[in-house]
Amino acid sequence: MGSASRCFSLQNSCNASSAIGILYDPPLGFRFRSPIRKIVRMSATQTENPRISFESLPIKPPSHPTYDLWGVIKSALSEDAGDQGDVTCLATIPSDMEVEAHFLAKENGIIAGISLAEMVFHEVDPSLKVEWSQKDGDSVHKGLDFGKVYGRAHSIVVAERVALNFMQRMSGVATLTKAMADLASPARILETRKTAPGLRLVDKWAVLIGGGRNHRMGLFDMVMIKDNHISIAGGITNALKSVDLYLEQRNLQMEVEVETRTIEEVEKVLDYASQTKTSLTRIMLDNMVVPLPNGDVDVTMLEQAVNFIGRRFETEASGNVTLETVHKIGQTGVDYISSGALTHSVKALDISLKIDTELALQVGRRTQRA
């Protein structure tokens, strides 16, 4: 194996006994060295690939204490390579051939994942050169050539699908987020924890690129008292008391949100807060948007709750949030609107990476995708 070869594992180690060892050689691709199953441990430190700094990105990924974005990229590449590498490339592409490939948008939308795609290409082969005419968050239209990558043909094709998978999903999230954020104004749109397993930070990064705001990253960075917590605690007041006591005893300071489902629960929360020093910062108004038979929604209950709370706490509407309803919800005076659909029902934006761009555009026009 040549000096250009690099060795790493899913735990950033070349120790085959502690993780799945992977060997990478640009002409050969990724090859498993030892199929030993271990749990992947995410690292909070960014020690990989100094060529790309998160601080230099136009829209930075959200912070997370244990999420290793480079580890996610490596895992995606290794699951694609399996134990043999790209056998089609090995059979058809000379190891020393260099090409230029272009990114083509096949539909209109908001592009996202450009920075992440560049990280994928650099992980596969640091000698690859990537150039963009657009940046994360920009609009693209069907048929637009918005970037290119050039260098070793084998490396480009090996990285292609993983880079596109990230970009297409993130662009779909960003496109829907942009549409909802524009309609929701002056309320601000949030996603939820309903993200693809293992892609929490990636999905939430796409929401930021689309102009949305991030809700809590996970279970650790915000207290969120939901219906099941309330039921187990014996009521909404007991749940709030328990949270305040927990935070006080541990000298913790963080945002606290409580879910309410009725006006009566809102009254109980406000009554508790009027008599007790509390860490509560936001009240969720869940399913107070009522669907009507004609497809419209009734926001009377939501408006009543928002007016009742006033400016004492932030407010968040949740439930029955769609592109058709979000504008009406946003006009009630609520501060935030959360939508799980931003990430759990995303439609990927169609993007391709083509070496023969003229032929790709001909086919695209024939199929009305360019």
Catalytic residues, by residue number, are 161, 194, 226, 259, 286
CB-based contacts of 199, cutoff 8 Å, min separation 6: 72, 169
- Say which amino acid occupies 353: L
Identify the sign of the CA torsion 218, 124, 77, 196: positive
State the Rg of the chain over Cα.
24
Tell whether omega for the bond before 186 is within 30 degrees of 0, i.e. cis.
yes
Query: Rounded to the nearest 5°, which phi and psi values hold at 14?
Result: -95, 15
| Whether the Cβ atoms of residue 263 and residue 300 lie closer than 8 Å to each other | no
Q: Which among 95, 127, 100 has a CA at the least distance from the CA of 28?
A: 95
Query: CB count, 10 Å around CB of 215?
Result: 22
Beta strand spans in the chain (E): 6-9, 21-25, 29-34, 98-105, 109-110, 129-132, 139-140, 145-152, 188-190, 223-225, 256-260, 280-286, 290-291, 297-298, 314-318, 336-338, 351-354
Query: Which residues are within 8 A (CB) of 9 and not within 5 positions of it... i.e. 6 or more apart?
Result: 15, 16, 18, 19, 20, 21, 22
Q: Specify which residues 257 forms β-bridges with.
A: 224, 282
Angstrom distance (rounded) from CA 220 to CA 135: 32
